[in-house]
Homo-oligomer: A and B are copies of this chain.
């Protein structure tokens, strides 16, 4: 605001009047202030008394969908760390829409959050540079930022799928299917890479009809799986790219005449009580949220090294039955 006042050659009070649309400013002066605002990229701050140098004790969390159990667990962990630092949490779901992600992030910044934990939907986060420069600590989680060097907490996605697919191969499978999320999603692309690498490492050729990427809606997953299970060379095993795919796959496979092996990425409640119990590559959703939030507060407290950190959390293969089924004859 000081810069705007200096550039327009007016006092702070005049800038304040223009920004708040208060009377007492001539049209000429208002135009000069507006020009200075435009030139400097000044953004109206809804709580301008909260200067950037003073903490607001609030943090913004942008998820894909809080109703997804994976993100619900991550969300609670971020909240608990924020609480231990006396900070409140703004939350919002991007629904995988990059515009909605940006809208939420900038709205949180306009409320002067001290920091952000973001599960990115978009692939270009340069819009955040002015906020980060202004002191908004930002940690990406689950997926890295696009075109921006920033703190990030990830899961070993490719490594986890490699381990799960190698497990299926070790149980005699050669024709293994893979159903993943939209290929623009970092985790989905990484998991597909893990699948390809595991197949290649075992000297297995991947037929194009064995893998498919797209929305993880039940209809899409049903159709994809039906197609993999038909034809002259049907798959004998499936790697499900996330918990949404696994849940639909369990439904489809329970209705199949012959047993199909299944390994899913992400653990889920009651997986051990299904018949067969579901073998999964488990990631630690609360651990990711905790790790991201702790990194955020270390950065806010000046306790993190200046260069952005990259944390990769390990996964865990949990064998329960479905991933140990032999290929159907």
A→B interface (CB under 8 Å): 20, 46-50, 56, 58, 65-69, 72-73, 75-76, 79, 83, 88-93, 104, 107-108, 111, 247, 250-251, 254, 268-270, 273-275, 286
Residues of B within 8 A of A66 (CB): 66, 72, 75-76, 79
Within 8 Å by CB of A247, from B56, B67, B250, B269, lies B269
Distance, CA A75 to CA B75, complexed state (A)? 11
Within 8 Å by CB of A273, from B20, B48, B88, B250, lies B250
Query: For residue A271, which residue of chain B has the nearest CB?
Result: B270
State whether A67 and B72 are in contact (beta carbons under 8 Å apart), knowing that A90-B89, A107-B88, A269-B269 are contacts in the complex: yes
Chain B nearest CB from A86 CB (Å) reads 9
Cβ contact within 8 Å between A79 and B50: no
Distance, CA A108 to CA B90, complexed state (A)? 10
Residues of B within 8 A of A73 (CB): 67
Residues of B within 8 A of A50 (CB): 46-47
Supply 6 A–B pairs (Cβ within 8 Å), ascending by A.
A67-B76, A68-B72, A79-B93, A251-B273, A254-B273, A269-B270
Cβ contact within 8 Å between B69 and A76: no
Cβ contact within 8 Å between A91 and B67: no
What are the 10 A-B residue pairs with the smallest beta carbon separation, nearest first? A47-B47, A67-B76, A72-B72, A91-B91, A67-B72, A67-B73, A66-B76, A66-B75, A88-B107, A90-B90
What 12 additional pairs, Cβ within 8 angstroms, besides A46-B47, A67-B76, A69-B69? Answer: A47-B49, A48-B49, A66-B76, A67-B73, A79-B91, A83-B92, A88-B108, A91-B91, A250-B270, A268-B269, A268-B270, A269-B269
Within 8 Å by CB of A67, from B46, B49, B75, B104, lies B75
Distance, CA A167 to CA B69, complexed state (A)? 31
Residues of B within 8 A of A49 (CB): 20, 46-49
Distance, CA A100 to CA B20, complexed state (A)? 36
Within 8 Å by CB of A56, from B46, B108, B286, lies B46
Residues of B within 8 A of A107 (CB): 88
Distance, CA A251 to CA B67, complexed state (A)? 24
Distance, CA A49 to CA B56, complexed state (A)? 14
Residues of B within 8 A of A250 (CB): 270, 273
Query: For residue A60, which residue of chain B has the nearest CB?
Result: B88
Cβ contact within 8 Å between A88 and B111: yes
